[in-house]
Every structure is written in C-alpha cells, then in structure tokens.
Structure 1
C-alpha cells in the first residue's frame, strides 16, 4: 500500500471514529442502555472496516457485518426485557444501523456527506422534546397543508410533461407547476411560522407573517376585524402596511428564479421600493408598537384548488403578454400589468421575468411593468379596505399607500 493510500485509510478511520463519538455522546447523555459513547464509535468503525474488507475480498462481508450489528441489537433488547425495563423504542437501534452505514459510506463517498448525515442524526436525537412540542402545535388541518404541498411537489410535478403546448407555445406544464410549487412553498413557510408564533406575534411580526402568506388575504382579514371592532382600526392599518411591504422580498425571489441573468438590472427599483415601504412601515409601527393583538386565522395556502387557480392565472397572463406584444406592441403591456396586478403580484411578476429572461421584452420595460402592477395592487387593496373596513382604517392606510404608489410612479416615469 502506497503512502498516500495509507494516509487516506487512516483519515477515513479517524473521521469514522469522530462521527461515531459524536452520535454516541448524544446517546450517552440520554442514558440509553442499548448503546452509548463507545458502542456507537465502535459500530461506525466496524462499518468502515467491513466496507474495506468487502472491497478487497467479497461484498458479502459488508452484509455479514450488518447482520452482526442487527444480531447485537436484538440480543441487547432481549436482555433489556429480561431486566424488567419498560422503556421501549427503536431510535437508538435505528441510529446504530445508520452509523454502521455511515462508516461504510466513508470508504466510497465524500466524507462531508457522511459528516452531514451524522451531524443531522445527532441534532435530530437531541431536539426530540422540541420536535414533540412543535408537533403538538399542529392540528389535522396543518398536517393536511403539509401533505398537500408534498402532493403538488413530489407527486404531480414529476409526472407533468416538460414541453410547450398551445398558441405561441407559452404553456409548459412542468415549468408552470414548478412555479406553483415555488409560490406555494413561500406561503406555506409563512403559514407554518404563523402556526407556531401567530398567537404571540406582535404587530410587526404579525404583518410580516401575513405578508409572506398573502398580503391581499391579510388586508381582507384585518379589514373585516376593523368592521367588527372599529377601535382597533389603527393597529389593523399598521399590520396591513407592514404586510404590503413583504411583497418585495417575494418579488425579488421570483425575479431571481425566472430571470437570473438579469436579476441585478431588475432588482434595483424593487430594492428602492422596499426601502420606501420599510420606512413607511416603521413610521406607522411607531404609533402602535406597544400594543399586542393576535393574528386572525389564516387559510391553508397549499390547497390544490389554490394551486390550480394560480397556475391558470399565470398561464393566462403569460399568453396575454405574448399576444399583446405580438399584435398591439409593448406599450399596451402597461394595461395588461395594471389589470393583472389588481388581485395578485406573483403571476405577473413571474410572467414578466420569464419574458425578460427570454429577451422577449426589455429589462427596463420588465421592471416598469412590475411596478405598474404594484400600483394597481395597492389601489385594489385600498378599495378592499375602504369597502370592508370602513372610513377610519382607510384614513390610516391612505398616507402610506399614497407614498408607495407615488414612489413607484416616479420610478416608472423618470428612472
């Protein structure tokens, strides 16, 4: 064996030992009777040695090594039962088998992957109480939300064809659904954070979470609350203002995904608008920062009907933009952006960004269309507030929304 090969073997054995000690230390602190500090280290080393022997002599050796570990686990559990122990579980046993596999993997794959697996295992074992506490906060509706996201991501997405159909060939089922997954994932992330912190969320966090889930839905919810309890109009207005500011991080992510080659050319006006909105939100928040209100119930953002609706809206807007450019010219796109932005910013942002990436429309026109949709969306939200929430909350929101709309208009006209 050459010196470099010998060094590699010793390096692998050292890493194997350290990873086994890491997981074993966690198990030792939990006072497990099956395996602890030394046992995990030895089993991981055993996996490494078995893999080396299997490579040199026969693959069966690795199988016999795994069978030996299983036999030891069975014997250990039998002895535990005979001692009268009433503590039963498979976590330590499964962890032992996993670390045997990690030890074997180190001989054939990058050590960083083995380290990541061992580290993740140690963390999962350590945060058992926190995981149980988190699970206790989820109800059947929340589990359904997660399962629906799994459905649209890992079951529906892979089976969709990755090719274009229809007029102008703008409809690609798999690409469209991938964007559905992106938007749903962002909203679901905010929804899950809301489930854990919603009851304790103050005004600022409540607005941020509401904006991540859906700023329009948050506007409707707090307008309804104000209609029932007008004394909370100022607080509701501030939450809506903060939620509306969260549209810009979403826009940034969508531009990055759809137009990565032109991200920096398109993001600067969005960044300016974000700074303006944060400033307006901070000014509004100063008026109510000592108040505390719980967030209203939020709707599950991963409903299949919601996903289908977004997909249909996105494809429709993409088709309309393409047809408008073809027959009416780029100037008519401002009307399309204004109409599209009334109820939703995601679909128009994704559609425009895709056109920019494909060089169908110019970068400057792209971000101007997004800001046009933003102005339209701001006006639409204000109309909701006035119609549902009443004159008082509308008066609180009007100055903030006016500053945002004017700033966007100035960028469109003079930038």
Structure 2
C-alpha cells in the first residue's frame, strides 16, 4: 500500500490510458483479422495514439478543456469521414469502431475527473462489450418483444410504485403498511424474475436436476407439478424425477431463508444452522435418488414453461393474500396466542406459503422469535405434505413411491427441528 501511494497519480493515469487504448486496439485488430470484409479505423497503434493524444492535450491545461475539445472535434471528423466512406463503398452502417475510437480518446478525461473505480468499471464494461458481439447477437435473437415489457413491469413495481407508497400501518388489526406489502411483492418478484432469466436464457436446455434447482428458486410447488406430469413421459427413471422434485423442495429452504434474511436479519442469523441442515439433507437425498436412477431414453434436457413471472394480476393477488394473511394472523395471535399461530401455519402450508411467511417475517406480533421460526418450519412441513399429494395425483405410481420416500426423510427432519425448537 505504501508503494502504491508513493506512485504519482499522473503515472497511474498514463499507464491506465495506455492499457485501455492498446487493449481496444488489439480487439479491433483481432476483428479485422477474423472479418476481412469488415473495415476498421486503425488497430493497435492507432487506438493507442488516440488515448495518448487525449492524455497529452489534457495534461497541461486541466482547468481549460478547449485544447482537449479541439482534439475531440478533429478525431470525430476523421471518424466521420471514415464512416461515410465505409457506407458509400461497402454499405456498412455499424458504429462500433467509431464509438470505440471516441471512447478511447475521452478515457483520459474520465480517469482524471472520476473516481478510480468508476474508470475501471467503464474500462471493463467497454472491453467486454467489444469482445462479446457474437454472444450478444445470439442473445438478441432469442429475446422476444414481450421481454422488454416484462422488464418495464419490474422497473415499475420496484422503482416507481414502491417509493410512492406510505409506510404507516393500515390499522391495529392489520399491522402492516402499504409500503411493506408492496416491498414483499417486489422481493418475491425479483427472485422469481432472476430464476426466470436464468432458466430461459442461461440454461434454456437445462438437465433434469438443474431444472429442479432453477424451478425451485421460482416455485417448488409449480416445479413439483411440472416434474410429476413429465414423469409420465418416462424419459427418465422414476428415481431421477423423484430426486429432481426433492431438490426443488431443497431450494424452498434456501429461498425462504433468503427472504428471512432480507426481512428479519436477526432471526436469520440465529437460525441459519437449522435451514442449512434442512437444505443439505434435502439436496443430498434428492441427489442420491437422482444418481441412483438411470435414464431410460430421450435427451438430457427438461422442458419447462417459460411463462412470464411478472404478470400484474399475479402481483395484485399476492398483495391481496399478504393483506389477508396479515389480518388473519393478527386475529389468531391476539385471540389464541402461540397455539393459534401454530394451527394457522399448519393450514397455510396447504396454500401459497410465501405471502404468509413474508407477513410473519415483517409483522410486529406479540410472539417470540422462536414461535415465528416454529411457524415457519411448520408451514414448510405442510407444504411438503401437499407436494406429496400432488406427486401422487400427477405422476406415475413408481415416481410417487420414490418421491414419498425422499419427502419422508425431509419431513421427519423438519418435524425433529420443530420439536427441538419447542424444547429450547
């Protein structure tokens, strides 16, 4: 650190400018070799000279930028002549080379006037974007027109609707504010949206086990139903389908813990060992079943629905359920105490558990943190029992048998954790 601080800032800036300019020049040189029909404006040395010119013109007159601006105009004119000639002779309209040349020239100003981390971040982003043209083109070909609407929906609910909501409790019987209700919607939507993007664009042809992991991040219940239905196609052995279902439920423990950590960090830090144990045992059980099974026929991919996870009506329903569970939980706790919460958590496990859990994690109820954790564990036991019922309803008899065996281990451990919490 002492050695770094002893190096003059001008020397560091000069080295970074040289490295940035030469790197982009090398990238352009590689593009010219790979695409002989594509004309580029100079390569290694030209781009390095651009950066050095910007550095030299900026160095003696940092308070007066007119020499630097004149140099920018001159470079821009040369780039414009090159661009027009390329259009006339070859019909090439791409602006990448022009923009890279201008970015190289302005980098000395950026590194002089901005924090170092900002300059390095832009450095990295430009290098990556210049290098991954082909993957970006392939990604663009896969993106449908509805994806931008989906992104706009997420931005709307997260950065427009949420900040505008009041953060005051609705009433003594409903001890949550509109802001906290919608915050829960935003967090769940973010997790679901991230899982959706991974599944659709990063792993569009995911293996069965990876489909269980990614699907479990989105919804272990939905994933259980999909895998149970797919088991009738018999592309894989029953043990493999059962293992993927158990793995999806293992992701439920991970997902619930992430939500707990976001909304109730103290309780999350106090209970991490229980969630880790349940997660590891579930993953191990699912993986053991998966590896035990042998694929019968077909390919190594599992087709999953790529439905939009950010439908507005889904968000409204989630907010309504959150509000309902808030009122019901407040009533049960007020009237029946811990026993009422235990009974309610068992019943809620057979519905959508996320609104109830988020309300529980955020709510200000007159119950101990231990009872909150017990209710959380209880609701996941009930939810796993419901998945066993769905597996019996939608899958083959053989898949159901192995699924029930896997869930038997997971549910037994979950119940043991609940009993341990009661004893503490």
Out of 380, 388, 393, the residue aligned to residue 399 of structure 2 is 393
User: For residue 25 of structure 1, what is the aligned residue in structure 2?
Assistant: 26
Deviation per CA, 1:59-111, whole angstroms, max 9, x where unpaired?
555544443332232122234346x2333301122223333443212112222
Out of 345, 354, 373, the residue aligned to residue 346 of structure 1 is 354
CA distance in 1, matches of 2:106, 2:176: 44
The reply on whether 1:42 has 2:42 as its aligned counterpart is no
CA distance in 1, matches of 2:69, 2:43: 23
Going from structure 1 to structure 2, the CA distance change for 1:52 and 1:320 (only over 3 Å counts) comes to farther
User: For residue 102 of structure 1, what is the aligned residue in structure 2?
Assistant: 107
Q: Is the 8 A contact 1:187 1:213 kept in 2?
A: yes
Out of 296, 299, 303, the residue aligned to residue 307 of structure 2 is 299
SS of equivalent residue, structure 1 residue 56: coil
In structure 2, list runs of 5 or more residues that go unmatched: 33-38
User: For residue 120 of structure 1, what is the aligned residue in structure 2?
Assistant: 125
CA distance in 2, matches of 1:220, 1:347: 20
What does 1:239-250 align with in structure 2 at a 5 Å threshold?
Answer: 239-250=244-255
Q: How many residues are treated as equivalent by the alignment?
A: 407
Deviation per CA, 1:218-247, whole angstroms, max 9, x where unpaired?
122233334676996544333222211111
What does 1:329-344 align with in structure 2 at a 5 Å threshold?
Answer: 329-344=337-352
**Displacement after TM superposition at 1:394 (Å):** 2.6
**Displacement after TM superposition at 1:410 (Å):** 1.0
The reply on whether 1:274 has 2:275 as its aligned counterpart is no
Q: Is the 8 A contact 2:240 2:291 kept in 1?
A: no
Going from structure 1 to structure 2, the CA distance change for 1:44 and 1:362 (only over 3 Å counts) comes to farther
Deviation per CA, 1:168-192, whole angstroms, max 9, x where unpaired?
3644334433332322222222222
User: For residue 314 of structure 1, what is the aligned residue in structure 2?
Assistant: 322
Q: Is the 8 A contact 1:348 1:373 kept in 2?
A: no
Q: Is the 8 A contact 2:239 2:290 kept in 1?
A: no
* Structure-1-length-normalised TM-score: 0.86
CA distance in 2, matches of 1:33, 1:296: 43
Deviation per CA, 1:283-330, whole angstroms, max 9, x where unpaired?
211232545452232422122222222233233333433443344323
Q: Is the 8 A contact 2:212 2:247 kept in 1?
A: yes
User: For residue 260 of structure 1, what is the aligned residue in structure 2?
Assistant: 265
User: For residue 35 of structure 2, what is the aligned residue in structure 1?
Assistant: none
Q: Is the 8 A contact 1:145 1:300 kept in 2?
A: yes
SS of equivalent residue, structure 1 residue 347: helix
In structure 1, list runs of 5 or more residues that go unmatched: none
